Structure 1
Amino acid sequence: MSRGRRVVTVVLVAAVAVAGYLAGLVPGDSARAAVDHCHVTYDRQERQHSRCVGHWTRLGHVASGPVHGVRVSPRWQARTLDPDANFEWEVDVPTAARHPVVVAVPGRAYVVPTVVRVLLTVLVLVALAGLGGTLVRRRRPGSRAERPATG
């Protein structure tokens, strides 16, 4: 195998490994976070801001912290009528929003939009197809690897 093909193969394998890690495909890993609770507040223009906290698993270790990007709906039921000391209302997280797909590191998690999940899936499939094609070309009879050296 030429040096250029080896580099391409290594890059493809690394890309698949990183994408698999980020997608939670490693054993003992999870691509979903459990949202434990969310708080909402409103700014002076009455725009809603949210802060959610949850937990997830990375390589078999449970981590917890902020979960960024949870789309909190104004229809989510507040648990109290009055805000807490930080002028935030805790809201009930519906079952449908309790386990979003995330990219997580030990201290925080980021919700992955559907478009990014689809693109990541396509990239993984393309990388696997390229890796498979490289391996098939390498093992094909009559390839350079099987030709005897002339001397």
Structure 2
Amino acid sequence: MDAALAGLIGAAIGAGIPPTVKGIFDWRAGKAQRQHETDDADQKRRDARLTERLQQVAQWRDGLAAGHAEYQEWLYILNNSPPKAQAFNNPKIPDVAGTAWFQSLRPHLSGRAGIAELRGASEVHCESSIVVALGEEINRIEQAWRDEANGEVVGDA
């Protein structure tokens, strides 16, 4: 092989290597950029879902507080009305089983004792023990949803 041919081959190889290497680096950078965009979009979706869920939790807490206040008012009237007035008024015990907030909470209730019975209950009265149990259950659901949004493994939510 003469020197001119060797120079020509060397020049061709030398001219072809930089664009090839640049193409590989550009491809890898593009792939990393697409992965970053996908991860960013996933995080935005998780954040939006968590925001919606936290609004739901706030509605549950508001509904639980209102149901408990209504129950306490009913209890006060029942305990402080004269017997004759009770017979005429016949106050019906407040029930939250059919309310929108409880209906949206119902599918998320766990199988724990004291809670599982509420899942299919036709009547739910917001007496103190029920309020405490539902409050703890709402806290459990909220924590599970926060853990899920942070990418942690979540059990039953």
Normalising by the smaller structure, the TM-score range is 0.3 to 0.5
TM-score (norm 1): 0.36
More helix by share: 2
More strand by share: 1
TM-score (norm 2): 0.35
Task: Point out the structure with max Rg over C-alpha.
Answer: 2
